[in-house]
Structure 1
Amino acid sequence: MEPDQFKKILTRYADGLANEEEKQLIAAWYDSYDQENEAAVFSDSLEEELIRKEMQQAILNHRNPPEIRKFSFRQYYKYAAVLAIAIAAVFLGKPFLKKPVKPNSEQDFRVIETYAGEYKKVTLEDLTVIQMNPGTRLRIPLQFAKLKDRTVYMDQGLAFFEVAKDPHHPFVVHSGQIKTLVLGTKFALSTEKATLTEVSVSEGKVRVSNGTQVLDDLIPGKKLRYNSKNEQWKVSNFAIREHNVWFQKVINLNHASFNELAKIIAINYGVKIRSGNKHTATYVYNLQIRSTRSLTETLKIICSVHQNKYRRTGNEIVIY
């Protein structure tokens, strides 16, 4: 029998597919080894030995197949999910990997500022008009028109608001600790970085709160002054005609101290005023500061109140 033919018989025998004649042939071949007699199926002993070893190995492989390590996808699901998110982020503009934007960061606002001697009139998208005095800083949300509440932030300065009526979208001004809520009205707001905030109303009604409680509901002719240092406030009367100065660019000083006068001059003219003696520092002033006047004209008026003189050195003015 040809070796190739006998190999095929061995393969069928190992796979359990051999017929009776082939099974008998294989059995006779095994018996020949047990009885140490040569089988007549091979003419060459070396060839027979080679076939015998191949057959044994084939049978062993069939009976004891090598262990196939099973691969489980379950333990990799979590890694696959993370990878899927990362890939999606790359192709979809990285929405999962972007850092959250702070709601109150500068990039969310349009910042409007006025400097020494500068006045500005700002009209918002809802047609609300804001008259800004020198030294005022406002922040208007870029999404102002889409917000449920029309919100504005006033960091410092002095401004007059003519709020367009819209009962469904209240108008809110945040200034330090103070929150001013209106539906449609005219009011003035002044705030200093240090402690003081003042709200005065000439038309309509506004609600003033400090974040923890409602301080008062102001009506025309009423003003509220709040000190954030001690959280105390006071409501008093004022003449509504005082608000007319916003359209004339006029600041009224009523019993203003020398320090208050100095602040107004610094805001309007960008110069520093200081007292040249102990008496000047105690003076109070009742006068109007008009932006249409030159600094020299204004200084002459200031000095005329208490018969003072002044001298100027660079950006500093001394009243004595």
Structure 2
Amino acid sequence: MQDYRNFGPEQLAIDVSFRRWQLLNEPADRVFWEDWLMQNPDKKDLVEKAAYLLIALSNHYTQPSNQEQAISEREIAAEIHRLHQSLDVPDNPSVKRFTYPWLRYSIAAGLLLMLGFFGWYAFQSLVEHRSRTITYQRLTTQAATPLLEVANTTDKPKLVNLPDASSILLYPHSRISYARKFPGSKREVYLAGKAFFEVAKDPSRPFYVYADGLVTKVLGTSFTVQTFDNHEQVKVVVKTGRVTVFARHPASRQQQQEDNSEGALVLTPNQQVLFSAPDTRLTKSVVEHPSVVEWPIEQLRFNFKRTPIAAVFAQLEKAYGIRILYDQEVMQNCYLTATLTDEPLFEKLDLICNTIDARYEQIDGQVIIYSKGCNL
């Protein structure tokens, strides 16, 4: 852990975590620096000076120039340090020092801009990333109604009760924003981090979760949504019910909330989707460890005695809520004699396929069985 109390403005300006906070408003870094400032209120001036220099430079270098060249992080750090040192003139009656710190750091930023030494390429990736990603901060500032924010700065999940009787289990280093009272015909929440939702059923008012560039719509169900620090991926995992997910369209709020948005996917229990922001790609799959959704596992009895394979697959489909596809005609002579207990679903499938000389794979949130048939 860095001892930021001993940092100078120029050191702070080039710190990776500080830059992510100031330029990208990364949730984890934001929480860290807000907590750090609460614990170190005497360092507010230090943070303001470093931020002033950093943001001034970042805002300036938004267009490339033929004269600008990419430079290394080490060169950036050296130049900021050199400039800062040159501004700290030694006490000397013949030398007039700057009376106002803001003036001194304004001149520092100006000198760097005129020299062009800092280079557009040093910040271009951060600036471009900030402009193309749909972050939590941008979403909440665009909300039509005032929002209440809850942040979990602890190391344990935190329960949040919503005004519609829905609940959220907010994971550490995550935050959620929502209206004190859901207005109109929609229930909308905004997430940064990870949260498990249990949504109260209300068919007349769909429930929307905005997480970076992904929109999740439900009427009443339970599911998990997780964003990642780089804002390039969002993950949704369904526990019960049905969930619709689609990429957020920046054109209009109405377009954001259309179920038939291009590329929308419907998820059912034990399915998940991974959203890739750079290419707005949605990849659906079965969760790593499917759980029983129909009954408690201890009440299930997977006892098969020369049971037709169609009946075996039907029971597994009902128990886990995952569709199993196979060629019924090819496998009409396949039977299973086995007792399966509380093994995970994929272990059950391994045992079944080994017994009947078949194989399986999961594609697009479904299980596909491949077989050449069974001899009588």
TM-score by length of 1: 0.41
Please say which structure displays the higher CA radius of gyration.
1
Q: Which has the higher strand share?
A: 1
The TM-score, its normalising length taken from structure 2, stands at 0.35
